[in-house]
Amino acid sequence: MEVIGKSVIRKEAQDKVTGQAQYTHDYHTSKKLSGRVVLSPYGHARILSIDTTDARKVPGVRAIITGEQLPLTGESMRDRPPLATDKVRYHGEAVAIVVADTPNQGDLAASLIQIQYEVLPVVHTPTQAFQQNSPLVHEHLGEYEREKDVYPVPGTNIAHHVKIRKGNMEKGWGESSVTVEGDYSFSPSDHAAMETRSSTAEITPDGTIKIITSSQAPFMVKQLIASYFDEDIGKIVVDTPLVGGAYGGKASVQLEILAYLSSRAVGGRAVEIFNEREQDMMMSPSHIGLDAKIKIGADHSGVIKAMEIQFLWDGGAYSDKAIDLTRAGAVDCTGPYKVDHVWCDSYCMYTNHTYAAPFRGFSHSELSFAVERTLDLLAKKLNMDPLELRERNAIQPGHTTPTRVLLNQSNVGNLQECISKLRTLIRWEEGPVREINERLVRVKGVSCSWKTSTIDSNAPSGVILTFNRDGSINLMSGVVEIGTGTKTVLAQILAEKLKMDVDKIHVRMTVDTQTTPEHWKTVASRGIYMAGRALLEAADDVIAQLKEIASIVLRAPIEDLEVAHMKVFTRDDPRISVDFKDICYGYQYPNGNSIGGQIIGRGNFILRHLSHLDPETGEGNPGPEWTVAAYGVEVEFDRRDLTYRLIKAASVIDIGIVLNEKAALGQVMGAMSMGLSFAGRETFYYDEFGRVLNPQLRTYRPIRYGENPEYLVDFVYTPDLQAAYGARGVGEHGLLGMPSALGNALSLAANVSLHHLPLTPELIWKTKAGNV
Amino acid sequence: MKLHTIQLKINDEQQTVTVRSGDTLLYTIRKQLGLTGAKPGCLNGDCGACTIHVDGWPMKSCLMMAVEGEGKQITTIEGLKDTPIQQAFVQHFAFQCGYCTPGFIMNGHSLLQKKPDADDSTIKEWLESNICRCTSYSEIEKAIKFALEKNKSS
Ligand code: FES
Ligand code: FES
């Protein structure tokens, strides 16, 4: 292949190194007003009164909006007022918006709004939320409008419950001679994209609602605003320029609603809501937390017989995407292993935390931490090599998943090969422990993962191709460029297919929902998977049209024609040819007669055979394919002060095929970095009022330059027959096994069993002292 | 509110702007001069996305008032043209979303000028003031080292 696999430079590279790349907040019109949001100072409190008298007197204030009379919102269940009304349910929840000429005026007015609260008991963890006597976050859970496959339990804090019942548990435990169990927990954390979220809305005199937003889901913004506020969907146009990092956090629809309400309140003038960092971390949806219980049974040789799993997801104050996260965790609950008897209860719990957005990996790094730590406990009990234990139970074609999908050579990658390549990559033959001196020891931990993408079963993706007069092509897809290089990779796929120079393919970088064909959401590592297929169909469409007109011009049957290098030519004698540029806008004969016309290619793709899950057993087909991977992390642990240094981190992923080498490596290593950061240092800390104590990048501290380990990446190549050129989704997978591999390494190094995140020296110390 | 009319020398051009005492340099160059290459990431000195040069040294423009910029040579990412560090970032895929990139490039470019012999610990000392959430930093490390090498040999 000519272009596929090459490290083609990103199409937007020059813009990004010269400061010309524009993100949402970089667009500005002089007449734009500023919307400043008043946030809840408590985790859970009743709102007694809101007095805006003084605030309204501030010069420049154009409107103040509070929550009464607004419809409820929420993606799968409408439980969230856009602005809190009778009570606040999390620290940082939006209570009021001040629209003013400048941000300063808005801030001044916001500080003068007097709100009286009566503090209520706080639900701090999903486990507490699950107890019978827990305070309720939502008193009227039964009354919310919801999709039909959402199962809330009124009178409790359970927003949704997914059950997996596979095989026969009694039989499974009966066949098990060894069992292990573990409880795990971690609090919510943040995506911390460097670009904080922002949205601008404007309503023009003809009723067109224009929104510019930093989003992974512009088409969903359009759909939801139309449906929440009963607006004409054809009059909503959502623009998404480049996005400065997203990682799932920008797949939720929140600021767009606030911007729309603000513009509506000032007669349609443009209003921008821009999150400063604290607001971005507290008010906008965060990375989900989890309390999990895992029990595994196996026979003497280490063959897993049964698994019982309980997930209590910390969905926070509103259910929004947490409902889907709860389901995604359930469908892959066992990890990538063959287990015949599975019992899993996955609950979406309400707590008084910021509600959850998707986070890169969509529940899988989280569930992996719990499952893979328990597998290491099993290996220890069996006195077995932890990699061998994983290899023995590795999922394969012919096995079924927890939701009973029968796997085949195409829909699941080759985990055993990933494990065997990992062995070499991390020099497993040296053994997991290497003594350096009395104080220092180098230790390796391993883990595995799998993931399918539980996206909507009818999610669409479309591509349109048009020509320029020189025969070059414009490629339009609704995939948002969030940093993953997807647009460039699409250009490569097209260049490969048409055998042309990738520089002659121009991609449209921004998305606008009026003229760009829809791509459901840029999430779930499904960008290339779906848009790639739509693109191939559009390319076939273009080829057919080119050949049709060329066959007349060249006086040759269509079957004899080939396309390459921006020409159509006869297969046996390429000299008989016509250039794209002479036919893509119709062909003109010397006397002026013309035939054909503008060539426009179109293609679309929709996933096939996906189904809803059975509410009692979970049976159903949740996603198109399972990407599998194996991981290792090596740390240098200091036995004296319990600190550690990351030495190496390795991932081996079954990628199907590499489409752009450096971009793929960048995706995998970047995801690994994020996974290690989440695993080792990231969490929100709360006080007794449920207040977030560290909503800043100096107290919430992601990995910085020089703190990173050496990264080792290798691939396995089992093509997915449904995907363009066989490529599997890979944007998230580097992350999935990092928390568990690091947890396994540190547990071995410190000779304790670590069950919480982040894996800080303090956690190790507390665990050793028996006081977590 | 007190307003000041000041002269700023940015990217070798003289600019006259009227600012509040409380306006940061970041706010002023973005909002008034349309130089949006410097990014707001935290407005608190924690992330480095807003890094520019003041008299050749990297400076977080969210931590400096616009009025303090008078009489100084200010350079933003828009003032760099095809420098070795920009080329190195492109070649080594040292960015993904690109939001942190202007800050890293300004920091790196200044490093090349001020510390052409920088060793690992100096590079770390300079670059740990910026956060990149997309890459693994090893791509950025490669780009910086490549540019340093190239700088030395030329
Ligand atoms: S915006 Fe200046 S350091 Fe973050
Ligand atoms: S490239 Fe996205 S934050 Fe650095």
Q: What share of chain A is helix, strand, coil (3-state, %, to 5)?
A: 30, 30, 45
The count of residues in chain A is: 772
In one-letter notation, the amino acid at residue A771 is: N
pLDDT surpassing 90 at residue A529: no
Task: Tell me the two tokens of residue A696.
Answer: 């800043």
The number of the ligand 1 atom at minimal distance from the alpha carbon of B47 is: 4
Contacts of A542 (CB under 8 A, 6+ apart): A465, A473, A498, A599, A601
Average pLDDT for A222-248: 96
pLDDT surpassing 70 at residue A445: yes
pLDDT surpassing 70 at residue A444: yes
Would you say the C-alpha torsion A218, A222, A224, A229 has a positive or negative sign? positive
* Domain spanning A32-120+197-274: CATH 3.90.1170.50: yes
Average pLDDT for A340-349: 98
Q: Class of A459-606 per CATH? A: alpha beta
pLDDT surpassing 90 at residue A481: no
H or E stretch at A292: strand A289-298
pLDDT value for A675: 98
Percentage of residues of chain B with pLDDT beyond 70: 99
Same fold: A286-396+407-455+610-768 with A459-606:
yes
Average pLDDT for A599-622: 92
Percentage of residues of chain A with pLDDT beyond 90: 88
Q: Are residues B96 and B41 in the same domain?
A: no
Boundary (domain end) residue, out of B14, B46, B76: B76
How far apart CA A628 and CA A523 sit, in angstroms, is 18
First vs last Cα of chain A: how many Å apart?
Answer: 55
Task: Give residue limits of the domains in chain A.
Answer: 32-120+197-274, 286-396+407-455+610-768, 459-606
**CATH number for B63:** 3.10.20.30
Q: Are residues B33 and B89 in the same domain?
A: no
β-pair partners for A449:
A629
Asked if A244 and B102 come within 8 Å (Cβ–Cβ), the reply is: no
- Which residues 45-74 in chain B show a CB within 8 A of chain A? 45-47, 49
pLDDT surpassing 80 at residue A94: yes
Instruction: Verify whether ligand 2 is closer than 6 Å to residue A194 (CB atom).
Output: yes
Instruction: Verify whether ligand 1 is closer than 6 Å to residue B103 (CB atom).
Output: no
Q: Are residues B92 and B69 in the same domain?
A: no
Q: Write the DSSP symbol of residue A756.
A: B
Residue of A nearest to B127 (CA): A705
pLDDT value for B2: 84
Query: Domain range holding B35?
Result: 3-76
Q: Are residues B24 and B71 in the same domain?
A: yes
Q: Are residues B71 and B36 in the same domain?
A: yes
| Average pLDDT score over chain A | 95
- For residue B41, the ligand closest to its alpha carbon is 1
Average pLDDT for A582-595: 95
Q: Are residues B60 and B102 in the same domain?
A: no
Task: Tell me the two tokens of residue A582.
Answer: 């002479």
Residue B145 sits at the chain A interface (C-beta within 8 Å): no
pLDDT value for A455: 74
Boundary (domain end) residue, out of B19, B54, B76: B76
B35 or A527, which is more confident: B35
Q: Are residues B70 and B93 in the same domain?
A: no
pLDDT surpassing 80 at residue B37: yes
Boundary (domain end) residue, out of B58, B76, B94: B76
Give the three-class secondary structure for A554: coil
Complex confidence, ipTM? 0.97
pLDDT value for A30: 66
**Minimal Cα–Cα distance from A220 to chain B, Å?**
21
Q: Which CATH architecture has domain A286-396+407-455+610-768?
A: 2-Layer Sandwich (3.30)
Q: Are residues B62 and B112 in the same domain?
A: no
A246 contact residues in B (CB cutoff 8 A):
97
Alpha carbon distances (Å) from A337 to A304, A383, A399 = 8, 19, 9
Query: How many structural domains does chain B have?
Result: 2
pLDDT value for A28: 73
pLDDT value for A518: 84
Instruction: Verify whether ligand 1 is closer than 6 Å to residue B60 (CB atom).
Output: yes
pLDDT surpassing 90 at residue A725: no
H or E stretch at A373: helix A364-382
pLDDT surpassing 90 at residue A392: yes
A722-755 b/e with 16+ CB inside 10 Å = b? bbbbbbbbbbbbbbbbbbbbbbbbbbbbbebbbb
What's the pTM value of the predicted model, to 2 decimals?
0.96
**Minimal Cα–Cα distance from A522 to chain B, Å?**
14
Size of interface A-B (CB pairs under 8 A): 162
How far apart CA A172 and CA A305 sit, in angstroms, is 5
Percentage of residues of chain A with pLDDT beyond 70: 99
pLDDT value for A459: 81
Residue of A nearest to B47 (CA): A697
Q: What does the DSSP assignment read for B83-107?
A: -HHHHHHHHTT--SS-SSHHHHHHH
pLDDT (tens digit per residue) in A497-515: 999 999 999 999 888 998 8
**Minimal Cα–Cα distance from B138 to chain A, Å?**
8
pLDDT value for B1: 66
Cα angle A369, A372, A374 (rounded to 5 degrees) comes to 105
pLDDT (tens digit per residue) in B65-114: 999 999 999 999 999 999 999 999 999 999 999 999 999 999 999 999 99
Which residue out of B96, B127, B144 would a mutagenesis test of the A interface target, given it has the greatest number of A Cβ atoms within 10 Å? B96
pLDDT (tens digit per residue) in A143-160: 999 999 999 999 999 999
Instruction: Verify whether ligand 1 is closer than 6 Å to residue B97 (CB atom).
Output: no
